[in-house]
Structure 1
């Protein structure tokens, strides 16, 4: 699969087509073994695993990682180190890299992140999900009750691979009407191990939910979801209830691993399930 604009070098990655038995096995390891560990144990193991990427020695793997994962040898020229740094001091710095210049277009609705669009359907057409013997609805992802999100809204889930840009941006101009932190698990995010329900981790993992009221009085629901080895989901500056946000204003960043879900009053116009989307291109 290819990118849909020339602004990016290569947001795509290999999608593994696992045999059903292997997908079920990996799901068992993720949900029934790892997912049944107490949350504090999951976080301690994740913190231990991810700590290496904050060490100065980890910057040595940036160049090999670029060669293996990106077709454009000048890929990194579009980005700068985070937090005003003059160079990437660790692999984590590369992971949370910033665009030097964000993409520009005239569309009023844009994608908030880049990655694989692994789920896309009307809220009313999506199946319920069983999590630890509880029935959960699409509204559960966003910390709401069944019926609070209009049934004609469209639910989308974008899986961010390790190679993808890991900052989440506002899809519209609007006003933040709600921010909610939902504690949860850190089960594996990769959608190809959840064949029947690629969005399963979104129903049970730790996440931040941000509601944005657009200029037409419609609410756009954004859920920023963590996974194993996520050190932090950090909200960006000035992301507070009542504050206005501009289209493509940064909402948050991930320190390793992520998925971004959205429930919106319009459906994607140019992308379908199992295609790649990019930050800032028309939604």
Structure 2
């Protein structure tokens, strides 16, 4: 890897070993109870919950949160408040923090986000998922027709914990060839409660899909998936169809919770399932 800094983030990420009985219970609560509430109601509840973190008083959570969640106590020095602010005015400001200096990497392909690589495999090997009695294939995550994504492409799913950096960047330089919003549910994202099917939420949750065609005319399919308490998935103004995008340009931002799925023409070179990835690291 040719990263300019070994780690911009705190690379510690615990993969929770949830007992089967507890995972079954959590899945039931997430999918069968919360998941059967109408999606508009889920979004209203999520917006109400997330609004707490927009209040000025919530900024007092930031320092205790950093002490509890990061081994690097100077972690916040690597970032700046969003939207040109001079200070973090709420916890939400911390959540959507910006890099003071973007990572640099000479590799042609990099990771677009930070988090736990909870699922990886060839498109041809990804099992179907049943959603409300409907059998869904991996292409449904990205909102394309069956067979459009080549079978030898690699599917990856990066789970962004609340502690992770929550902006998504372009993995390659290229042209944006498709933008799609898919309404859906907001079931819990934590992969360890779904055991052998950690990507289940990506098959059913609300998401924004962005395709980037690189200089070799290969399409990189990116699906930005929301979860409970995600009030918004926001795209920068310049992200539009036919726009030219440079590697590591920002393409999306989450307001609380998320996961990012990719269907890529190459397999990750340095990472495997249940390892930590970060923005700008070689893909």
**1:12 Cα offset (Å):** 2.9
Q: What's 1:97 paired with?
A: 97
CA drift of 1:75 comes to 0.4
> Which residue does 1:276 correspond to in 2?
276
* 42-51 or 224-233, which deviates more: 42-51
CA distance in 1, matches of 2:273, 2:14: 15
Partners of 2:113 and 2:154 in 1: how far apart?
17
Structure 2 Cα separation of the partners of residues 154 and 7 of structure 1: 25
- Asked if 1:17 is matched to 2:10, the reply is no
| 1:157 alignment counterpart | 157
Aligned partners of 2:96 and 2:200: how far apart in 1? 25
Q: CA deviation at 1:11?
A: 3.6
Q: Could you tell me which residue of structure 1 aligns to residue 86 of structure 2?
A: 86
> Could you say which residue in structure 1 is the equivalent of 2:49?
49
After superposing on structure 2, the runs of 4+ consecutive aligned residues of structure 1 that deviate more than 6 Å are none
1:105-184 paired onto structure 2 within 5 Å? 105-184=105-184
Instruction: Quote the residue 1:246 is aligned against.
Output: 246
Provide the C-alpha distance between the structure 2 equivalents of 1:234 and 1:44, rounded to a whole number of angstroms: 17
Please give the residue correspondences for 1:186-265 in structure 2 after superposition, counting only pairs within 5 Å: 186-265=186-265
Give distance in 2, aligned partners of 1:97 and 1:243: 25
- How far has the Cα of 1:95 moved from its partner? 0.2
Structure 2 Cα separation of the partners of residues 65 and 13 of structure 1: 15
Give TM-score, length-normalised by structure 2.
0.97
Conservation of the 8 A alpha-carbon contact between 2:9 and 2:278: no
Secondary structure at 2:179's aligned position in 1?
Answer: strand
Deviation at 1:7, TM superposition (A): 2.9
Measured against aligned partners, the alpha-carbon deviations of 1:131-189 in whole angstroms (never above 9, x if no partner) come to: 11111111000001211100000000000000000000000000000000000000000
Tell me if the contact between 1:120 and 1:154 (Cα under 8 Å) persists in the aligned partners.
yes
Q: Which residue matches 1:62?
A: 62
Cα pair 1:9 1:71 within 8 Å, conserved: no
Deviations 1:74-94, CA, capped at 9 Å, x for gaps: 100100000000000000000
Q: What's the Cα RMSD here? A: 1.1
Post-superposition Cα deviations, 1:30-54, rounded to whole Å, max 9, x if no partner, equal 0000000001110111111111100
Q: What TM-score do you get using the length of structure 1 for normalisation? A: 0.97
Contact 2:112–2:169, Cα closer than 8 Å, also in 1: yes
Q: 2:153 and 2:105 mapped to 1: Cα distance? A: 24
Following TM superposition, by how much is the alpha carbon of 1:18 offset from its aligned partner in structure 2, in angstroms? 0.7
- Unmatched segments (≥5 aa) in structure 1: none
Instruction: Indicate the SS of the match to 2:84.
Output: coil
